[in-house]
Structure 1
């Protein structure tokens, strides 16, 4: 659940998408803001297991994913499906903005 209001989320989206044309460029703008502002690493729980989110990536098929690890195991989880910890890391508003944009 977003801690930001609709107007705040839409202002972030607009900031990320300056001069962006089409869905791919819009997603890339949001990815860039996530990459620049999300404070990583942070820990969260996936299916009851604690993992470390070490960064974000943009996949060749255009999805934004969180790069997660636990020990030597590495997995990419779609940012839309990533459970956020409490307290949330700095820059989490960009995840919220992406989720709002993605609908």
Structure 2
């Protein structure tokens, strides 16, 4: 669970979606905030393998995904399925706001 409470997460969601009409624009607003505020690159572990998160993207199926790499291999992983390292990178609160919004 996030260190932020519901009220703080709701305030972030409101900030990201203030001018949004409909779910697609809300998603774009949250994606923009994650893209602008999440400090990358950072390392995390996925299925026991350390990967480097290089950035974020919007997938064709309407999810925010993390662009991960290990050596020459790259893979996009849904950011809600991505385990955050401890300590979490700066801007991780925007991922938690997205998780609450998507919930």
Shared fold (TM-score, shorter chain, > 0.5): yes
Distance in 2 separating the partners of 1:60 and 1:9: 26
Deviation at 1:46, TM superposition (A): 0.2
**Alignment partner, residue 25 of structure 2:** 25
**Alignment partner, residue 71 of structure 1:** 71
Gap runs ≥5 in structure 1:
none
**Alignment partner, residue 94 of structure 1:** 94
Matches within 5 A, 1:19-58: 19-58=19-58
Deviation at 1:2, TM superposition (A): 1.1
Give the 3-state SS of the residue equivalent to 1:53 in structure 2: strand
Segments of 4+ in structure 1 off by > 3 A? Answer: none
TM-score between both structures, scaled by the size of structure 2: 0.98
TM-score between both structures, scaled by the size of structure 1: 0.98
